[in-house]
Amino acid sequence: MEMNIRRAKEGDVPRMLELVRELAVFERAPEEVTVMLDHMRDAGFGPNPIWVGWVAEFDGIIQGMAVCYERYSTWKGRRLYLEDIVVTEAARGKGLGERLFRACAAYALSKEHDGMTWQVLDWNHGAVRFYERLGASFSKEWWNGSVNKEQLKTLAAG
């Protein structure tokens, strides 16, 4: 059994989107995935890429992925934001997730970021244990805020 972690390539995006959809089913929100394949491909490999990713191959098949992007904190400086880390259910427990996480950490250091952040659902105890085992801490004080595209249009219109 061969395991390989590598930077994502443009040709990996269809499989990566499948993994995103698998994650959404696990997180009980499959209808929330609205990104289209062309948009995801362009956002990672177009003229102005905003995300960077890694894939985890197990026996030559992509069984996991991590997608990150740069963010800036006025308190902490440059940070790498881990948008998603996904390992298929069949491949869990083989070290793919940890190797993906470590690839993101190494990338953050190579870019001289001051840290890495992400979100995890409070009911996802397996993920919480995973991150805690790797030395992560969690803040329960901050709430996540968001507005959707229609709300953006209303806000922009004044």
Residue 67: which residues within 8 A CB-CB, separation 6 or more? 8, 16, 44, 51, 52, 53, 82, 83, 84
CA dist., res. 108 & res. 124, Å (int): 25
**Tokens encoding 59:** 């026996």
Strands in 29-118 per DSSP E: 52-58, 61-73, 77-87, 116-118
Dihedral class, residue 9 (left if φ above 0, else alpha if ψ from -120 to 50, else beta): beta
Please report, for residues 104, 132, 147, the alpha-carbon distance to residue 101 in angstroms, rounded to integers and kept in the order given: 5, 12, 28
Choose, from 69, 72, 107, 131, the residue flagged as catalytic: 131
Is residue 69 part of the annotated active site? The answer reads no
Give me the active site residues, please.
131
